[in-house]
Amino acid sequence: MALLTKDHGVLRAAVRGARGKSKRAAALQLLTEVSLTYFRREGADLARVDRLEIVASAFDLASRAESAMLLPYLAESALTFVPESEQGGDVYRLVRHVLDALGAGVPAPLAARYFEVWLLRFAGVLPEEDAPPAVRALLGAIRRLPLVALSREAQPPAALDALEDVTREARRNFLGHELKSYRFLSALG
């Protein structure tokens, strides 16, 4: 199991009792925020989770058609862009911000673009200066506003589509391939 942590980046861990319909299995649902205690021996690949409690569940978002397809993409992106055992606080806060905004009713396509822009900015691979004027204006709004506030302003669909093209190209160039979960985003509409 891979966990994104605030202070230690991506943590690979074994969680005893996490199969089936146990409380621990519920705590390990995709993008559920948990509080945990773990132990890892020096040189070991996997940590052992000792204590695990749910802080915030993503079950409601996973059960809504408009956000369910975005969750695997957020998780795969975060795990791909945060190196193991390096600080992951910025990406952790970004994921939490996007999940909270989705819970507040922000449209999933806008949340996806917002997430991509900030993730690629953190990685230093977003070519903002080469973007068309409508995309540059949208990028400026994304830098200035939290996601819920951004959703209150009308965003031209053409600018969102063009921004998706820019972020997709930057991500593919950086990774050398496309994320497996990207194909689910077409279901966002």
Q: What per-residue confidence (pLDDT) applies to 28?
A: 80
Residue 178: φ, ψ to 5°: -100, 150
The token pair at 16 is: 């005893």
What single-letter amino acid sits at 13?
A
Whether residue 77 contacts residue 105, with contact meaning beta carbons closer than 8 Å, is answered with: no
Window from 22-31, 150-159, 162-171 with minimum mean pLDDT: 22-31
Longest distance between any two alpha carbons in the chain, whole Å: 53
When the pLDDT of each residue in the chain is averaged and rounded to a whole number, the result is 89
| pLDDT of 110 above 70 | yes
| pLDDT of 21 above 80 | no
The domain locations on the chain are: 2-188
Percentage of the chain beyond pLDDT 90 is 57
Work out whether strand 33-39 and strand 2-5 pair parallel, antiparallel, or are unpaired. unpaired
Better pLDDT: 54 or 99: 99
Q: What per-residue confidence (pLDDT) applies to 88?
A: 82
26-59 pLDDT, tens digit each: 778 889 898 888 888 988 888 898 888 889 999 9
Q: What per-residue confidence (pLDDT) applies to 189?
A: 56
115-129 pLDDT, tens digit each: 999 999 999 999 888
